[in-house]
Amino acid sequence: MNATLLDRLQQELDDRRTTTGLRRDLVVSGPQGPTLGVAGATLVNLASNDYLGIAGDPEVLESARRALRDHGLGVTAGRVLCGTRTVHGQLEASIADLVGAEDALLYNSCFDANLGVFDALLGRDDAIISDELNHASLIDGIRLSSARRRVFAHGDLADLERCLAECADARHRLIVTDGVFSMDGDIAALPRLHELAQSYDAALLVDDSHATGVLGATGAGTAEYFGLTGGVDVLTGTLGKALGGGAGGFVAGSWAVVETLRQASRPYIFTNAMAPPLAAAAVTAIQIARGRPGLRERLAANTAWFRDALRDLGYDVLPGQHPIIPVMLRGRSLARDVAMALRDEGVLAFALSYPVVPAGEERIRVQVSAAHTAGQLEEAAAAFERVHKLVDCA
Ligand SMILES: *Cc1c(COP(=O)(O)O)cnc(C)c1O
């Protein structure tokens, strides 16, 4: 090992250990579900993105098993070589159908989709205008494109309009936003973004990773939630959250958008195709997400109940509708202490601190699922009640 590089890495890790602390992965045993096994204990799981509670659905798992038996595990080739199977096309068609788009293209993750979409669609004469709180993968994907870049203050439509006006000379303008922002659980003001896009002849790209399957009567996402189906030009999303949680991402849009990506998007072309068992599981997960609207009703009821319970206990909860519930503690050590105390009381939820959220906005992020029983939510609320003394003493 090169000593110069080694020294620098060790130095930086030491610094990080004393400032923000080093990240340590929590090792979980057993399958994903409303409870999780951690270090021999069973915790109520308020930390996963399994919003519809179908990651462990028997039909989803059986589809994967059947595909494993019939097609094997991996295809050891890209989509453009001998990696494509019927199930990839089926999954692309069911994604397009779910979100109401002409076509869709699969990636191995939404991170990949976001890395591959901008460079393929835009060039140096174009401008990308991006919300400052957009997901890391959008930020990186935008960096990979040769288009001009502008960042607008989070949800600030006046600032967005200023950026649009500044980029009036560009060939295309593309407004980029998360549909639901993962730290605050707030929903982008799509109707206003869409209006601004119309008046400045801009296109609109929405990353609906936290919304597909979750928002809208049929689970089509943020656009459906606002009655704006068809109003988004380019939609990106994940199969790793509400849609079964296996893995995979996608871009959906008009035929020409998707065909251009098929021809030119590097993370689509230069990588191994999605393993058929994952694709088959996702097809079934989408059928369930569409076919059981009761799951979304259950999710909404669970979310409303838990939001109210936390508020009644005296917690400062950011308002909203989404199952992401930010419990504001506004102190780094307080957020960490509350998360640790919750774990001792049988609840898994994570503390988020700088640099993930701004300093002073430290919080516990709670994520509710349709799979949580009333008993599990009551148990979790009781744990929050017991740890509230930490907040009172702070
Ligand atoms: C989770 C998430 C991603 C990444 O999705 P993966 O499929 O896990 O790579 C991208 N964008 C947003 C907004 C997300 O929340």
The ranges assigned to domains in the chain are 19-48+293-390, 58-291
Q: What is the pLDDT of residues 98-157, one digit of tens each?
A: 999 999 999 999 999 999 999 999 999 999 999 999 999 999 999 999 999 999 999 999
31: burial class by Cβ within 10 Å (0-12, 13-18, 19+)? Answer: exposed
Ligand 1, atom 2: closest residue by C-alpha: 209
What confidence tier does 20 reach under pLDDT thresholds 50, 70, 90? Answer: confident
> Could you count the other beta carbons within 10 Å of the beta carbon of residue 369?
27
| CATH node for 19-48+293-390 | 3.90.1150.10
pLDDT at 270: 97
Ligand 1, atom 1: closest residue by C-alpha: 209
Ligand 1, atom 12: closest residue by C-alpha: 209
pLDDT at 340: 96
pLDDT at 190: 98
The CATH class of the 58-291 domain is alpha beta
The conformation of residue 86, written as its DSSP 8-state character, comes to: H
Mention every residue, 6+ apart, whose C-beta is less than 8 A from residue 43.
35, 36, 37, 343, 346, 347, 348
Whether the Cβ atoms of residue 168 and residue 200 lie closer than 8 Å to each other:
yes
**Mean pLDDT, the chain, as a whole number?**
97
d(CA 2, CA 15): 20
pLDDT at 19: 87
Q: What is the pLDDT of residues 296-345, one digit of tens each?
A: 999 999 999 999 999 999 999 999 999 999 999 999 999 999 999 999 99
pLDDT at 180: 98
pLDDT at 353: 92
Task: Please report the atom of ligand 1 found closest to the CA of residue 135.
Answer: 13
pLDDT at 74: 94
pLDDT at 394: 76
pTM above 0.85, yes or no: yes
List residues near ligand 1 (CB under 6 A). 109-111, 135, 137, 178, 182, 207, 209-210, 238, 240, 249
Using the predicted structure, report yes or no on whether residue 244 has a pLDDT greater than 90.
yes
Using the predicted structure, report yes or no on whether residue 48 has a pLDDT greater than 90.
yes
Query: Which residue of the set 88, 210, 322, 372 is catalytic?
Result: 210
What confidence tier does 392 reach under pLDDT thresholds 50, 70, 90? Answer: confident
What confidence tier does 47 reach under pLDDT thresholds 50, 70, 90? Answer: very high
Phi-psi label, residue 221: left if phi above 0, alpha if psi -120 to 50, beta otherwise: left
d(CA 366, CA 383): 13
d(CA 209, CA 110): 8
